[in-house]
Structure 1
């Protein structure tokens, strides 16, 4: 089975026939691309997101392409909703083999003393509490299946970045949570890895859409300018990140756990930030 033309081809070890994958934050961006790539590789996919319209659109797109997908609305910061998400996943497909913790928000751009406490708490709730809750309720099922978990962190979880204190702290937490889970659950047959994307051609949480047109254009120009300073000189396409996520979720990465994989065009090799 192949992925879409932009995403290349799967290998034999990257086939997911008979396996069930849960992808959070799958209404758009990296999550949507990952859900589609997993389905194209044979997985039955649970699409989870707080946005019912866009989330169901992802699931419908997968089904229209001949795949199997089911949408479940979920705020990953809410323990009861996450518990229900896992119960419905098992009720729908009977098992869980792959968890992709992708849901995340940016938190805006302020220095720490300018950041509202409520905004800090919200970023932590989605970006760090969310992966904790999803892992907590998924791990018993993943242990039953000797499954895999991939956490979507960020290069901002590896280095400091301008005006992003909550985002950097939350993604740094995801990075080290990944390592810790690998230690505890490797003996149970569960592999846990993370990807750290750099500049990706996506609008996280529709942030630019909430700006005035001039501000949105300036934000995009600033992002593209920063990406141009990297060794590869551009932003990533979401499929380029999704391919790495699928690799880490698959048997092709069978001796990898606790790995933190940058997909960043070389940005963490340069430290060239243009504020």
Structure 2
């Protein structure tokens, strides 16, 4: 028999009346997540350092009838993050959902060849960013019984070649997710993370800076690697966004501290390539 305290699925997945903030939302997974959140009824704050891309994302949502604003923010800068949260609350009256999606790869390098500036930049965006956003969002989230969804990576669960800073930063996001779930579950806030695998997107625009031959080679490498995993392909950004949004809704009401892989099965098996 259904517990009458648990809302029906249709109402559980609705985000009508809720406010969501997505970092790194000018493109890729963040942009797709903003669109899915808005489609579920949320009013959405699109946040990014990319002003043109962020404005375009918010405008596209408004053009289809959704409520959305863009706020420029470098998530590694505490003053900017605090100001962003204050502006979001001032514009929409509160905050219910935080999606910490902003991230950079830092390029490929062996650790002994990695420069300190790159290490610090990756840590600042990928780990300090979620810390700062959570820090300034949590008072609102506690007041409203909200949710945080952190975007980590399969590279935060397993070692990967040539990615010491990225792996370490995303491993930190996984650990931070679990720790926040412990402290803030009793305070009414659920905290979960998704770990995408190969996704058909260009993180940080690095591929776009390559020439045509370089772009083709980069795409081919990813497609070859993705073909070795059980589902045999890369994910579309919407396939990751839908899991993020599920974790933010009442349909995931008994989930906190969960680390959810959205990876086509790549972490379930050896890569035999």
When normalised by structure 1's length, the TM-score is 0.95
Aligned twin of 1:84: 83
Aligned twin of 2:97: 98
| Runs of 4+ displaced beyond 2 Å | none
Aligned twin of 2:6: none
Alignment of 1:122 with 2:121, yes or no, is yes
1:273 to partner: Cα distance = 6.8
Aligned twin of 1:202: 201
1:269 to partner: Cα distance = 1.2
Alignment of 1:188 with 2:181, yes or no, is no
1:206 to partner: Cα distance = 0.5
Aligned twin of 1:263: 262
**Superposition pairs for residues 81-230 of structure 1, below 5 Å?**
81-230=80-229
1:65 to partner: Cα distance = 0.9
1:270 to partner: Cα distance = 2.0
**Are the equivalent residues in 2 in contact too, given 1:182–1:258 (CA < 8 A)?**
yes
**Pairs aligned (count):** 265
Aligned twin of 1:72: 71
**Are the equivalent residues in 2 in contact too, given 1:226–1:273 (CA < 8 A)?**
no
CA–CA separation in structure 2 for the residues paired with 1:195 and 1:82: 22
SS at match of 2:224: helix
| Alignment deviations for residues 100-144 of structure 1 (CA, whole Å, 9 cap, x no partner) | 000000110111111111000000000000000000000001000
Please say which of residues 205-214 and 170-179 is displaced more in the overlay: 205-214
**Are the equivalent residues in 2 in contact too, given 1:181–1:192 (CA < 8 A)?**
yes
CA–CA separation in structure 1 for the residues paired with 2:272 and 2:47: 33
SS at match of 1:48: strand
CA–CA separation in structure 2 for the residues paired with 1:214 and 1:97: 44
**Superposition pairs for residues 242-257 of structure 1, below 5 Å?**
242-257=241-256
1:12 to partner: Cα distance = 2.9
1:271 to partner: Cα distance = 3.0
**Are the equivalent residues in 2 in contact too, given 1:197–1:264 (CA < 8 A)?**
yes
Aligned twin of 2:17: 18
Aligned twin of 2:3: none
CA–CA separation in structure 2 for the residues paired with 1:212 and 1:42: 40
CA–CA separation in structure 1 for the residues paired with 2:110 and 2:191: 32
**Are the equivalent residues in 2 in contact too, given 1:77–1:130 (CA < 8 A)?**
yes
**Are the equivalent residues in 2 in contact too, given 1:111–1:164 (CA < 8 A)?**
yes
Please say which of residues 209-218 and 72-81 is displaced more in the overlay: 209-218
**Unmatched 5+ stretches in structure 2:** 1-8
CA–CA separation in structure 2 for the residues paired with 1:223 and 1:157: 18
1:248 to partner: Cα distance = 0.1
| Alignment deviations for residues 156-207 of structure 1 (CA, whole Å, 9 cap, x no partner) | 0000001000000000000000000000000000000000000000000101
CA–CA separation in structure 1 for the residues paired with 2:272 and 2:30: 26
